[in-house]
């Protein structure tokens, strides 16, 4: 074979390799773009600013609408009231409430809601007949948590998005519902540490004292009347991806499983 033919063959081979490499890069780039686009579509904010404005106009004496709460995977999608001394046993539309009247978004916000119909040791998941915070109990189950990790809170004309980092059964008396001040970084770090240590799930998410936290709390009888059910989440950081991150059970979950296996259907009879 002549030198010219060898050179031509080498050039053709190089071109094939180059074209193949370029095609591979384009394909990989396409997959990366598709992945990033769809990861950021894991949760899309649907503004509730107008909803809050409409409810404010309907406020009655004794309470006022201060925000709107929306929890992924549930029918929790309604107003948040500030109503000190209000009788929450009255028949009203679905609502949640807070005991602190913040003028700006605090670094720890407690929001409470009723759970009247989902108090057994085997909570129902996203039952259509539950209209208050009953569906929050869906976060008892790993399969549900895997696909529902975001909480949306609308406050002061802004829609804020939070990533869930802990689910727990705290002693109700230990919860700081009446807090009306910003937590110090040290105090917030302590709160975060305890929430993660007591969590029945381990979320692959970083949380620290510089974050802003929201805590949703409702009634439970899983461990008796003295305990609550709590879901903690931290504000999505600037430029952070809105994605589906990993989660797994912790050793604390064994306590829940033990209760579930006990077959107690009506925990309202427990002390």
Partners of 218 in the β-ladder: 229
Q: What whole-number distance in Å separates Cα of residue 97 and Cα of residue 107?
A: 17
Same domain, 31 and 56: no
Residue 21 has pLDDT above 70, yes or no: no
- The structure's pTM equals 0.82
Is residue 268 one of the residues assigned to a domain? no
Write down the pLDDT at residue 92: 60
Query: Does residue 23 sit in the same domain as residue 75?
Result: no
- The three-state DSSP-derived secondary structure of 99-168 is CCCCCCCCCEEEEECCCCCCCCCCCCCCCCCCCCCHHHHHHHCHHHHCCCCEEEEEECCEEEEEEEEEEE
Domain extent at residue 2: 1-39
* H or E element, residue 215: strand 213-219
Asked if 183 and 92 sit in the same domain, the reply is: yes
How much is the pLDDT for 3? 59
Verify that 137 and 5 share a domain, yes or no.
no
pLDDT of amino acid 268: 44
3-class state of residue 210 by DSSP = coil
Same domain, yes or no: 167 and 199: yes
Residue 191 lies in a domain: yes
Check residue 236 and report its DSSP letter. P
User: Could you give the number of structural domains in the chain?
Assistant: 2
CATH number assigned to the domain comprising residue 241: 2.40.260.10
> What pLDDT digit, counting tens, does each position of 170-199 carry?
999 999 988 888 999 999 999 999 999 999
Q: What is the DSSP string of 2-54?
A: -HHHHHHHHHHHHHHHHHHHHHHHHHHHHHHHHHHHHHTTSS-----HHHHHH
| Same-domain pairing of 120 and 243 | yes
The answer as to whether 163 is a domain residue is: yes
Which long-range contacts (C-beta less than 8 Å, at least 24 apart) are formed by 127-133? 128/75, 130/75, 131/75, 131/94, 132/94, 132/95, 132/96, 132/218, 133/76, 133/96, 133/216, 133/218
Q: 19 and 139 share a domain?
A: no
- Which residue from 85, 270, 107, 71 is spatially nearest to 187, judged by alpha carbons? 107
pLDDT digits (tens, 9 = 90+) for 25-80: 666 665 555 455 455 568 899 999 999 999 999 887 778 899 999 999 999 999 99
């Amino acid at each position: 074979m002549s030198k010219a033919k060898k050179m031509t063959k080498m050039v053709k081979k190089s071109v094939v390799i180059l074209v193949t490499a370029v095609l591979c890069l384009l394909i990989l780039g396409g997959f990366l773009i598709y992945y990033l686009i769809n990861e950021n579509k894991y949760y899309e904010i649907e503004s509730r600013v107008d909803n809050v404005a409409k409810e404010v106009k309907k406020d009655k004496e004794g309470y006022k609408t201060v925000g709107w709460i929306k929890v992924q995977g549930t029918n929790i999608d309604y107003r948040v009231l500030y109503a000190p001394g209000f009788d929450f046993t009255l028949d009203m539309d679905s609502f949640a409430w807070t005991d602190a009247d913040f003028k700006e978004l605090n670094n720890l916000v407690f929001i409470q809601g009723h759970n009247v119909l989902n108090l057994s040791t085997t909570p129902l998941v996203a039952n259509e007949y539950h209209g208050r915070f009953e569906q929050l109990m869906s976060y008892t189950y790993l399969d549900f948590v895997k696909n529902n990790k975001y909480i949306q809170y609308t406050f002061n004309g802004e829609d804020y998005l939070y990533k869930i980092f802990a689910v727990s059964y705290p002693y109700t008396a230990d919860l700081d519902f009446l807090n009306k001040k910003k937590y110090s970084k040290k105090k917030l770090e302590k709160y975060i540490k305890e929430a993660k240590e007591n969590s029945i799930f381990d979320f692959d998410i970083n949380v620290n004292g510089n974050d802003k936290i929201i805590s949703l709390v409702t009634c439970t009888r899983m461990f008796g009347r003295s305990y609550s059910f709590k879901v903690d989440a931290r504000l999505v950081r600037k430029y952070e991806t809105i994605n589906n991150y990993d989660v797994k059970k912790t050793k604390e979950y064994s306590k829940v499983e033990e209760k579930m296996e006990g077959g107690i259907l009506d925990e309202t009879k427990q002390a």
